[in-house]
Structure 1
Amino acid sequence: MSSWGRIEKNARIAIAIILSLMFAISAFGDCRGDRDSHLLRNYDGTIGDNAHVRMTITVNDDAIRGEYCYASQLMNISLRGRVVDGSRFVIDAFDSSGRIIGRFDGEFPTKDPRGKFGDSELQCEVMVGTWSAGGNSFEKLPFYLTLESQTGGTLEHRYSVAGAADDKLIDRTAQRFWEAVKRGDKQTVASLVKYPITIYTKKGYKKIRHAESLVRNYDVIFTPGYVDAISKAIPKNMFVRDQGIMLGAGDVWFGPDGKVIALNNF
């Protein structure tokens, strides 16, 4: 089985181990970043009961820059803030005109309040607190985010690590694929794949050499569980490495031109 098989599907396990080591050797011993750090910290979670969001931040000393998006909108909102006393933070959200439209006031807890990490001692793996709307709104909601990965690249050009020249192209193509899978548009899905491609499923693997073959095998590949996994992922601010750009937990990988290069239905 190639590196796009079980290795990639289980990559999140290796990532978790690497992340724990990275934080363990932090120069500060807390959630501030090194002055010259260029790592992107990618978080996933919710605001309120069910508003699914993805957030990416960089932390240089105690200064925070970043962006986040809602799964329902897929438009990045700029973030600026600071780490206070190593474990608390205040992060403001800005619209395109520079007006504050929201605030994340919270902490990096040492224990996960929702138990995702069990009783493990945490450093920066979880962000919890209160999100409040800007302006004259008094809306306040709890938020809970967990660290998904740390990657290279920059906020302006995160996918360069995979050789991509145009981040907007990657996002547009990934979103088009994601939307097509959700509505069962076989032709559009097939048109966004780079051939030949090897499809991995619980029953083994199959090489697909052209779009017509993928359409014929579509229902075998895109099972209800696989469609659900893809649908729950956010095709924005995705994990990236030198081999490609990942949607979900290794379910789909995109190449530097935005085409799908791996489908892993395990």
Structure 2
Amino acid sequence: MMKPLIRTVFLTTLLSPVLAVASCEDIGGSPSLQEYAGDIDGKYKIQLTLAFKGDSVSGEYFYLSQLKGIPLRAVSGDRNKLVLEERGANGEVTASFTGALSADCGKFDGTWQKTGSSSKLPYSLKHTESNSGSLGHRYYTAGAESDDIVYANAYKFWLGVKNGDKKAVTSVLAYPVRAQIAGKKTTFRNASQFSASYDAIFTPAYRQAVIDAVPRNMGSSWRGVMLGEQGEVWLNHLGKPFALNN
């Protein structure tokens, strides 16, 4: 069983998860990004972001099977009938979401339709958290200059853990790295030290927790970027892990 976050970090105030409850009153202010997760047609798991600025709405979503951001533009910003168009590389509309936000913005339900198809697939999304920033610069509060660099390193770490690739994992860490060995908080100064304790750190339970995390559209603050809903991994401004909450 995963240990509570408070028992697995050096500074609780530094590494506590930062989550927020959905609120329509927050939209247009700070935080400005509202995160949702769910599925299309009960089959295709997605995560979607709505960015509100005044009366304008934009967004982005991705399939968990692909982890590639797909931009969305609102045709209608009416919360009772929010229409978001998905556009291809040439600017053509390839699909659209048509749905409604609940009164507290906690749910976004409706139908997804591919352009040229008569089929409308239902989707159901629940609010997961609120973030500051913008779609193109999510992690500025963590000091990141490039979201793409954050994603590249977070994905390299995540994929390394998933594939059991010790070399890939140790090469992307931001030393010194903090973790826990047999209940003792430990600081690893280099790859050699970390490699020697790799199996003790990545227990089956912790390894699965990292695999279940999504290395995209992550929460962030001045503390860093949070991989995993419970802060299983904390990343720096380059997307490199500096604390493992195992």
**Among residues 125, 146, 149, which one is paired with 2:126 in the alignment?**
146
- One-letter amino acid of the structure 1 residue matched with residue 85 of structure 2: D
Whole-angstrom distance in 1 between the partners of 2:180 and 2:12: 9
Structure 2: where are the runs of 5+ without partners? 1-6
Cα offset, 1:78, TM superposition: 0.9
Cα offset, 1:83, TM superposition: 3.2
Report SS of the residue matched to 2:139. helix
Cα offset, 1:46, TM superposition: 1.8
Aligned to 1:99: 92
Aligned to 1:259: 240
CA contact (8 A) 1:163 1:256 kept: yes
Is residue 184 of structure 1 aligned with residue 164 of structure 2?
yes
Cα offset, 1:79, TM superposition: 0.5
Whole-angstrom distance in 2 between the partners of 1:201 and 1:10: 20
Report SS of the residue matched to 2:245. strand
Work out the percentage of aligned pairs sharing the same amino acid: 33
Cα offset, 1:65, TM superposition: 0.4
CA contact (8 A) 1:201 1:264 kept: no
- One-letter amino acid of the structure 1 residue matched with residue 109 of structure 2: V
Greater relative CO (CA pairs within 8 A, separation 6+): 2
Give TM-score, length-normalised by structure 2: 0.85
Runs of 4+ in 1 over 4 A off after TM superposition: 1-10
**Among residues 75, 83, 88, which one is paired with 2:77 in the alignment?**
83
Is residue 133 of structure 1 aligned with residue 133 of structure 2?
no
How many residues are matched? 238
**Among residues 11, 17, 37, which one is paired with 1:11 in the alignment?**
17
Cα offset, 1:3, TM superposition: 6.4
Cα offset, 1:203, TM superposition: 3.4
CA contact (8 A) 1:131 1:143 kept: yes
Whole-angstrom distance in 1 between the partners of 2:52 and 2:10: 31
Whole-angstrom distance in 2 between the partners of 1:5 and 1:53: 33
Deviates more, 1:185-194 or 1:63-72: 63-72
CA contact (8 A) 2:8 2:180 kept: no
- One-letter amino acid of the structure 1 residue matched with residue 98 of structure 2: D
- One-letter amino acid of the structure 1 residue matched with residue 88 of structure 2: D
Check 1:61–1:165 CA distance in 2 against 1; reply closer, same or farther (3 A cut). closer
Aligned to 2:50: 57
Aligned to 1:205: 185
Whole-angstrom distance in 2 between the partners of 1:141 and 1:203: 48
Cα offset, 1:163, TM superposition: 0.7
Structure 1: where are the runs of 5+ without partners? 28-32, 111-122
Whole-angstrom distance in 2 between the partners of 1:57 and 1:75: 16
Cα offset, 1:67, TM superposition: 0.9
Check 1:5–1:264 CA distance in 2 against 1; reply closer, same or farther (3 A cut). farther
Whole-angstrom distance in 2 between the partners of 1:202 and 1:67: 41
Aligned to 1:167: 147
Is residue 215 of structure 1 aligned with residue 195 of structure 2?
yes
Aligned to 1:114: none
**Among residues 25, 39, 44, which one is paired with 2:37 in the alignment?**
44
Check 1:208–1:71 CA distance in 2 against 1; reply closer, same or farther (3 A cut). same
Report SS of the residue matched to 1:153. coil
Whole-angstrom distance in 1 between the partners of 2:9 and 2:80: 37
Cα offset, 1:77, TM superposition: 0.9
- One-letter amino acid of the structure 1 residue matched with residue 106 of structure 2: E
Cα offset, 1:200, TM superposition: 4.1
Whole-angstrom distance in 1 between the partners of 2:121 and 2:173: 40
CA RMSD of aligned residues (A): 2.6
Aligned to 1:156: 136
- One-letter amino acid of the structure 2 residue matched with residue 83 of structure 1: G
